[in-house]
Structure 1
Amino acid sequence: MDTLFKELNKLCQSSSLVYNDYLNNRHDTVFVDDKTKPIATRIKTAETFYERFEENVARNYVLFKSLEIVYNNLKTMKKKVKTEMKILKNQNDLNCFDKIVEELSEIYDEDFQAKKNVLEEQIKEFENRKNTKISEMKKSKYYKGCDDTELNIGKKTNMIFKEVIFDSVQDDWKQNTSVFNNKIEGKSNLVFLIEDNDGNKFGGVLFEKVKNIEWVDDSKSFIFISKINGKNTFEKYPINDKQTFYLNRKKDFSLFSFKMTSDFGINKNGDGTFRLSSFGGKNKLFIDDKFKVSRIKVIQLE
């Protein structure tokens, strides 16, 4: 192919010279016999035209032959080019290119995954640090505003807050994985303090020991309201029911209930019920007696 390209290039250059010579030296081929002039003059003019026309024909022939050679070589070139194109089309270069693209893509993906895993570990570490800091702050008894819950319950029970034994901010209370039972079972003198999404704070106090899947009878227990729509208050209502408190199983949908009719109870999906009227309250605390849990704390008294 390289030799053919060179030969064709040489022929084209040669033909170009012939063509330029043809254009530059071409004579006028239009002859007009002026019959008004003497015969000798007419012959001389015609002979001169003949000689020039003969030169034109000769140059035409030379150019034609030159172009014919170029044309024939181009035909040969065309066949060889088609053959070469067919060979190139059948070669595996394109397949090899596709393969290297796929392999390089896999390497890029492997590199990306490795870097992604490192970043995800870092993100997880940052998130854990953040959650730890938030959890520590929310453990403060001053979290969500200072109120008189501890003071008022202390007055009503003649006891003081000893320690928080369960806090939903950090302790699991989901169905099947809850640690709630392990934290409170067998313990007595407990305050169940609930906060909802609307700034209400309320709960119940249980003096008797919490039993496993068994109603607790506690004549001294009561429920209370210590904050309504973010404003401090304190209302106490006796339960007056032998079936005072029930701790559900770990696998149950419900978490716990005060009173057998479940007038005050919480489910593990965060839904709660609080029918204040059934405890003697004159007003409804919630629309349809329903609320959404924001936080659950269980505090032991002493």
Structure 2
Amino acid sequence: MNNYKIHRKPRKTDKEEVSKPQHVENVQVNFSGSQEIEQLSGLKVGKVLFDSGRDNWAKNTSVFGDKILHKQNLLFLVEDDNRNIFGGVLYEKVVKEKEFVGSQRFFVFSLERNGIVNPRKYELKGSNNQYAFYLYCKSHECLFGFGGGHAIGVFKKGSLSRSYCNPSLQSSSYTAKLGDLTDGRYFKVKTIKVYQLD
């Protein structure tokens, strides 16, 4: 008779199962410049709602709208390939696609210029508060825009159109000027993140 030993993995106890670290998504996040954003917005930076590194943002299949619809107090953070980080803060609720969200308090900001943290806040001009933010539908090339005439337009992943930042246009809704947020009129998106503000 063969005297083989059968090696079994030791069974984990209930206590071990409970103490096993769990992967939790959307935890409180701190990033370089988060304190500056909190000072500008008056709110705390909370969980990540959308992250272009893990979430789909391509034409027809983007989940961007699904992640932000019916939510308010949102921080939009864009990083380009020239180490510029900028975005906007929207306090009002995003109710539906293909419609401007108006806001008395919405602002765009520059957080980093060429890798150097130097926070600047740019508010809406005059009567432009009804053109704060625009969410495009899944089938459109563009993902979202800030301002009437879209002073800032961010296009979907894989789009042939280039994302742009031209706040000095006459039709622009913001006090920022060309070069305040990016190096030129066009930019290449590196990452897009949307955070919940609390």
Quickly name the TM-score band, shorter chain normalised.
0.7 to 0.9
Number of positions where the alignment pairs a residue of Structure 1 with one of Structure 2 = 160
Whole-Å separation in 2 of the counterparts to 1:180 and 1:266: 12
Task: State TM-score, norm by structure 1.
Answer: 0.50
Per the alignment, in what secondary structure is the counterpart of residue 152 of structure 1?
helix
Q: Aligned-residue CA RMSD in angstroms?
A: 2.0
Q: Residue 194 of structure 2 corresponds to which residue in structure 1?
A: 298
The one-letter code of the counterpart of 2:110 is I
Per the alignment, in what secondary structure is the counterpart of residue 66 of structure 2?
helix
Per the alignment, in what secondary structure is the counterpart of residue 159 of structure 1?
coil
Whole-Å separation in 1 of the counterparts to 2:184 and 2:80: 15
Q: Residue 163 of structure 2 corresponds to which residue in structure 1?
A: 272
The one-letter code of the counterpart of 1:280 is T
Once the two structures are superposed, what CA deviation does each residue of 1:207-239 show, in whole Å capped at 9, x if it has no partner? 100121211111100000000001110010012
Q: Residue 246 of structure 1 corresponds to which residue in structure 2?
A: 134
Return the index of the structure with the highest Cα Rg: 1
Once the two structures are superposed, what CA deviation does each residue of 1:91-134 show, in whole Å capped at 9, x if it has no partner? xxxxxxxxxxxxxxxxxxxxxxxxxxxxxxxxxxxxxxxxxxxx
Whole-Å separation in 2 of the counterparts to 1:246 and 1:258: 6
Per the alignment, in what secondary structure is the counterpart of residue 153 of structure 1?
helix
Whole-Å separation in 2 of the counterparts to 1:282 and 1:174: 29
Whole-Å separation in 2 of the counterparts to 1:157 and 1:230: 21
Q: By how many angstroms is 1:280 displaced? A: 2.3
Whole-Å separation in 2 of the counterparts to 1:182 and 1:230: 31
Q: By how many angstroms is 1:287 displaced? A: 5.0
Alignment of 1:195-206 (within 5 A): 195-206=79-90
Whole-Å separation in 2 of the counterparts to 1:222 and 1:238: 5
Structure 2 unaligned spans of 5+: 1-24
The one-letter code of the counterpart of 1:229 is N
Structure 1 unaligned spans of 5+: 1-135
Q: Residue 236 of structure 1 corresponds to which residue in structure 2?
A: 121
Q: Residue 92 of structure 2 corresponds to which residue in structure 1?
A: 208
Closer, same or farther: CA 188–229 of 1 in aligned 2, 3 Å: same
Q: 2:59 aligns with which of 171, 175, 189?
A: 175
Per the alignment, in what secondary structure is the counterpart of residue 169 of structure 1?
coil
Closer, same or farther: CA 291–301 of 1 in aligned 2, 3 Å: same
Q: Residue 74 of structure 2 corresponds to which residue in structure 1?
A: 190
Kindly, what percent of the aligned residue pairs are identical? 37
Q: By how many angstroms is 1:281 displaced? A: 2.8
Bigger fraction of residues in strand: 2
Whole-Å separation in 2 of the counterparts to 1:283 and 1:182: 31
Whole-Å separation in 1 of the counterparts to 2:175 and 2:57: 30
Q: 1:164 aligns with which of 44, 48, 62?
A: 48
Q: Residue 103 of structure 2 corresponds to which residue in structure 1?
A: 218
Which of 1 and 2 has higher RCO (CA within 8 Å, sep 6+)?
Answer: 2
Bigger fraction of residues in helix: 1
